[in-house]
Amino acid sequence: MKPIIRTTAAALALALGLTISALAQAASISGEVKKIDEGAGKITLKHGPAKNLGMDEPMTMVYRVKNPGMLKQVKVGDKVTFEAEEAASGYTVTKLEKAK
């Protein structure tokens, strides 16, 4: 019976580790909208560190947006929180909200 308990405990620990990793990947980043290019589906954001993307320093950069409709919800100068992921074509904003 002890091997079953050890196996179950190991499986639970692995699942918890994967869940924490997934949550870290979706970490929100605080920033400010600097430019919007609706035609190209891109947004320029000045933001703090984005550890989940390997960015340890604040920076300003251009992101693609997963859904171009997100760009209609914000304007230049808005403070925002966003989530992004790295893809072969570059960094893509997957979630964008005005900061509260």
Give me the residue spans of the domains in the chain.
Answer: 28-98
Are the CB atoms for 43 and 71 separated by under 8 Å? Answer: yes
Task: Determine the Cα–Cα distance for residues 6 and 66; give it in Å rounded to an integer.
Answer: 42
Q: What is the band of 24 on the pLDDT scale with cuts at 50, 70, 90? A: very low
Beta bridge partners of 62: 44
Q: What is the band of 11 on the pLDDT scale with cuts at 50, 70, 90? A: low
Close Cβ partners of 4 (under 8 Å, ≥ 6 residues apart): none
Architecture of domain 28-98: Beta Barrel (2.40)
The pair of structure tokens assigned to 9 is: 């405990």
Q: What is the band of 88 on the pLDDT scale with cuts at 50, 70, 90? A: confident
52-59: long-range contacts (C-beta < 8 A, 24 or more apart)?
Answer: 52/24, 52/25, 52/26, 52/27, 53/84, 53/85, 53/86, 53/91, 54/86
Q: How much is the pTM?
A: 0.73
